[in-house]
Amino acid sequence: MPPTRPVDPPRRPVYLNLPAIRMPIPSIVSILHRVSGALLFLLGIPWALAALDASLASPAAFASYAAVAGHPVAKLIAIGLVWAYVHHLLAGVRHLALDLHAGLELAAARRTSAAVFVLAILITLAVAVRIW
Protein backbone atom coordinates (compact mmCIF):
# COMPACT_ATOMS: atom_id res chain seq x y z
CA MET A 1 0.00 0.00 0.00
CA PRO A 2 1.43 3.39 -0.90
CA PRO A 3 1.14 6.00 1.84
CA THR A 4 -1.99 8.09 1.45
CA ARG A 5 -1.49 11.71 0.55
CA PRO A 6 -2.30 14.33 3.15
CA VAL A 7 -4.16 16.42 0.57
CA ASP A 8 -5.94 15.29 -2.57
CA PRO A 9 -4.37 16.72 -5.69
CA PRO A 10 -6.43 19.53 -7.21
CA ARG A 11 -8.93 18.42 -9.84
CA ARG A 12 -7.87 19.99 -13.09
CA PRO A 13 -10.15 20.29 -16.11
CA VAL A 14 -9.50 17.68 -18.76
CA TYR A 15 -9.60 19.03 -22.25
CA LEU A 16 -9.01 16.36 -24.84
CA ASN A 17 -10.69 17.56 -27.98
CA LEU A 18 -8.08 15.99 -30.23
CA PRO A 19 -8.91 17.76 -33.52
CA ALA A 20 -8.77 21.11 -31.73
CA ILE A 21 -5.34 20.50 -30.20
CA ARG A 22 -2.54 21.94 -32.27
CA MET A 23 -0.20 19.21 -33.52
CA PRO A 24 3.24 20.49 -34.40
CA ILE A 25 5.50 18.08 -36.23
CA PRO A 26 7.52 17.01 -33.13
CA SER A 27 4.33 15.85 -31.41
CA ILE A 28 3.20 13.95 -34.51
CA VAL A 29 6.55 12.16 -34.69
CA SER A 30 6.31 11.41 -30.97
CA ILE A 31 2.83 9.91 -31.26
CA LEU A 32 3.88 7.88 -34.28
CA HIS A 33 6.80 6.56 -32.24
CA ARG A 34 4.31 5.10 -29.80
CA VAL A 35 1.98 3.86 -32.54
CA SER A 36 4.85 2.21 -34.38
CA GLY A 37 6.13 0.60 -31.16
CA ALA A 38 2.70 -0.87 -30.49
CA LEU A 39 2.40 -2.07 -34.10
CA LEU A 40 5.80 -3.73 -33.94
CA PHE A 41 4.78 -5.59 -30.82
CA LEU A 42 1.33 -6.63 -32.03
CA LEU A 43 2.16 -7.54 -35.65
CA GLY A 44 5.85 -6.98 -36.29
CA ILE A 45 7.37 -9.61 -34.01
CA PRO A 46 5.09 -12.50 -35.05
CA TRP A 47 5.36 -11.53 -38.71
CA ALA A 48 9.16 -11.28 -38.60
CA LEU A 49 9.45 -14.64 -36.82
CA ALA A 50 7.07 -16.38 -39.21
CA ALA A 51 8.94 -14.93 -42.19
CA LEU A 52 12.35 -15.88 -40.83
CA ASP A 53 11.12 -19.35 -39.90
CA ALA A 54 9.75 -19.96 -43.39
CA SER A 55 12.73 -18.48 -45.19
CA LEU A 56 15.20 -20.74 -43.37
CA ALA A 57 13.14 -23.93 -43.30
CA SER A 58 12.57 -26.33 -46.19
CA PRO A 59 12.02 -25.06 -49.74
CA ALA A 60 8.43 -26.30 -49.44
CA ALA A 61 7.81 -24.19 -46.33
CA PHE A 62 9.41 -21.25 -48.06
CA ALA A 63 7.20 -21.69 -51.12
CA SER A 64 4.03 -21.78 -49.06
CA TYR A 65 5.15 -18.70 -47.14
CA ALA A 66 6.05 -16.90 -50.36
CA ALA A 67 2.58 -17.64 -51.72
CA VAL A 68 0.94 -15.99 -48.69
CA ALA A 69 3.45 -13.12 -48.57
CA GLY A 70 2.93 -12.44 -52.28
CA HIS A 71 -0.69 -11.47 -51.77
CA PRO A 72 -1.18 -7.70 -52.17
CA VAL A 73 -2.74 -7.42 -48.71
CA ALA A 74 0.25 -9.21 -47.15
CA LYS A 75 2.58 -6.91 -49.06
CA LEU A 76 0.75 -3.85 -47.76
CA ILE A 77 1.02 -5.16 -44.20
CA ALA A 78 4.72 -5.88 -44.70
CA ILE A 79 5.30 -2.38 -46.05
CA GLY A 80 3.39 -0.93 -43.10
CA LEU A 81 5.61 -2.86 -40.72
CA VAL A 82 8.75 -1.72 -42.53
CA TRP A 83 7.56 1.84 -42.04
CA ALA A 84 6.88 1.12 -38.35
CA TYR A 85 10.40 -0.24 -37.84
CA VAL A 86 12.17 2.54 -39.75
CA HIS A 87 10.13 5.32 -38.16
CA HIS A 88 10.52 3.83 -34.68
CA LEU A 89 14.26 3.40 -35.13
CA LEU A 90 14.88 6.91 -36.48
CA ALA A 91 12.58 8.53 -33.92
CA GLY A 92 14.37 6.39 -31.31
CA VAL A 93 17.77 7.73 -32.38
CA ARG A 94 16.38 11.26 -32.14
CA HIS A 95 14.92 10.44 -28.75
CA LEU A 96 18.29 9.23 -27.48
CA ALA A 97 19.93 12.42 -28.77
CA LEU A 98 17.34 14.50 -26.92
CA ASP A 99 18.03 12.48 -23.77
CA LEU A 100 21.64 13.59 -24.14
CA HIS A 101 20.39 17.17 -24.45
CA ALA A 102 21.29 17.40 -28.11
CA GLY A 103 18.88 19.24 -30.36
CA LEU A 104 16.60 20.54 -27.64
CA GLU A 105 16.14 24.05 -29.08
CA LEU A 106 12.75 24.51 -30.70
CA ALA A 107 14.06 25.16 -34.21
CA ALA A 108 16.35 22.14 -34.08
CA ALA A 109 13.63 19.95 -32.57
CA ARG A 110 11.31 20.88 -35.43
CA ARG A 111 13.97 20.24 -38.05
CA THR A 112 15.03 16.83 -36.71
CA SER A 113 11.45 15.64 -36.26
CA ALA A 114 10.60 16.65 -39.82
CA ALA A 115 13.73 14.83 -40.98
CA VAL A 116 12.69 11.66 -39.11
CA PHE A 117 9.19 11.84 -40.54
CA VAL A 118 10.28 12.36 -44.15
CA LEU A 119 13.25 9.98 -44.09
CA ALA A 120 11.12 7.15 -42.69
CA ILE A 121 8.64 7.60 -45.52
CA LEU A 122 11.36 7.78 -48.17
CA ILE A 123 13.10 4.62 -46.95
CA THR A 124 9.75 2.84 -46.74
CA LEU A 125 8.95 3.88 -50.31
CA ALA A 126 12.30 2.58 -51.52
CA VAL A 127 11.63 -0.78 -49.85
CA ALA A 128 8.03 -0.79 -51.12
CA VAL A 129 9.22 -0.41 -54.70
CA ARG A 130 11.48 -3.44 -54.26
CA ILE A 131 8.78 -5.57 -52.61
CA TRP A 132 6.21 -4.68 -55.25
Partner 1 sequence: MVTRTQRHVVGAHYGLRDWIAQRITAVVMILYTLVALFALAWQGGFDHAGWKALWAHGAFRLATFLFAIALLWHAWVGVRNITMDYIKPVGVRLVVQGAVICALVFYTGWTIQVLWGVRA
Out of 32, 78, 83, 88, point to the residue binding ligand HEM (CB under 6 A).
Answer: 88
Should residue 45 be labelled a site residue for partner 1 when binding is judged by CB under 8 A? yes
Should residue 118 be labelled a site residue for partner 1 when binding is judged by CB under 8 A? no
Q: Any residues with CB less than 8 A from the CB of 77 and at least 6 apart, and which?
A: 43, 47
Should residue 37 be labelled a site residue for partner 1 when binding is judged by CB under 8 A? yes
Distance between CA atoms of residues 96 and 90, nearest Å: 10
Of 23 and 93, CB closest to partner 1: 93
User: Binders of partner 1 among 85-114, rule CB under 8 A?
Assistant: 89, 92-93, 95-96, 99
Q: What is the DSSP string of 102-128?
A: -S-SHHHHHHHHHHHHHHHHHHHHHHH
Out of 29, 32, 40, 69, point to the residue binding ligand HEM (CB under 6 A).
Answer: 40
Residue 115, CB-side half-sphere exposure with 13 Å CA sphere: 12
